[in-house]
Amino acid sequence: MNYETKLWKIEDITKNSTQIEAAANLLKKQEVIAFPTETVYGLGADATNEQAIAKIFEAKGRPSDNPLIVHVANKRQIDQYVSNIPDIAEKLIDAFMPGPLTIILSSNGVIAKNVTAGLSTIAIRIPDHPVARHLLEACQLPLAAPSANKSGKPSPTSATHVYQDLNGKIAGILDGGNTGVGLESTVLDCTSELPIILRPGGVTKDQIEQVIGTVMIDPALAKTDDQPKSPGMKYTHYQPEAPLWLVDGDADFFQAQIELNTDKGYKVGVMASKELAALLHTDNIKTCGTRANLNEVAAQLYETLRAFKKSDVDLILCESFEQAGVGDAIMNRLHKAASKKIKQSLSPDETSL
């Protein structure tokens, strides 16, 4: 379906703003609207209506066997769509919602089956962005909302990114400026005896454990052959226009990789921290923040990935980051975006994923 996609620049961030009311009315008519959350821009539709949800999959070009996250305005609405809220989930809601945490609970069957991918569980969260919250209050609907990008590409952190990917494919875009966290929410399965992190994100494992005690990291995060319980666990994700190789090594090793691939005739782009960038000699380098503050790297990750255009580079060499705290989420996304990983401990011709 071809749309004349409306782009609303939000100036009055209240549920009574004319732009938010217009978007809410389209959602009530089973249309699809992109809106900002504190993580990335989401592509929202009525989570109780299968026909509306089908438009999300069509717009994104996304397979329908991957569950979607349901966004609600408050805790009271969570009660409307789950069969029960365990004590640990109550603690998590109180500690982290609204915020970048999604919890998986047992569904009561109200949410459409193509949102849950036929599972008996539901992934649900309360977003912490004024535009998202007011939109949810104005439409009075639970909104299933994956990231508002073409399937497989870097998630959008601005309305411009959404427009570039989905203009003509959706009814409208609410422009609430750039997002803050920059990476999707942490997904935590609360239906098992020991809670399991299915996707690392804006709330870290340490933060969760301070509230509810020990949690597991799902060993199936890297698998692609089973039916996923969480978004982001299946298929290729976050790929920029040019192939991305992860480089794990010091500045001299990274410089050698730049020169090696330049000598092979590749136009090489580099994605690095400010610290590494200062030590490298190359013309096409883009920084994504500082190692001293990985939250900054997270916030700029997708913006930087999108900045490399196929017309300008044949290959992107990307720095590897410490896997601690939000670094777990950063490296999770980079592993999914990368086609190859190069480690300093390996011989020059060896690579591994």
Residues 25-56: tens digit of each pLDDT: 999 999 999 999 999 999 999 999 999 999 99
DSSP 244-286: EEEEES-HHHHHHHHHHHHHTT--EEEEE-HHHHTT---SSEE
**In CATH, which superfamily holds the domain spanning 6-222?**
DHBP synthase (3.90.870.10)
Q: Does 147 belong to an annotated binding site?
A: yes
Q: How many CA atoms lie within 13 A of 268 on its CB side?
A: 23
Residues 232-254: tens digit of each pLDDT: 444 457 889 999 999 999 999 99
pTM higher than the cut 0.85: yes
pLDDT at 348: 52
Q: What gap in Å lies between CA 344 and CA 142, rounded to an integer? A: 48
Q: Does 62 belong to an annotated binding site?
A: yes
List residues bridging with 188 in a β-sheet.
103, 197
Q: Does 125 belong to an annotated binding site?
A: yes
pLDDT at 14: 75
Q: What share of the chain is helix, strand, coil (3-state, %, to 5)?
A: 35, 20, 45
Question: Domain 244-343, what fold?
Answer: Rossmann fold (3.40.50)
Residues 94-107: tens digit of each pLDDT: 999 999 999 999 99
Q: What gap in Å lies between CA 89 and CA 211, rounded to an integer? A: 10
**Where exactly are the structural domains of the chain?**
6-222, 244-343
List residues bridging with 82 in a β-sheet.
107
List residues bridging with 317 in a β-sheet.
245, 270
pLDDT at 352: 46
Q: Does 121 belong to an annotated binding site?
A: yes
Contact 141, 235 (CB under 8 A): no
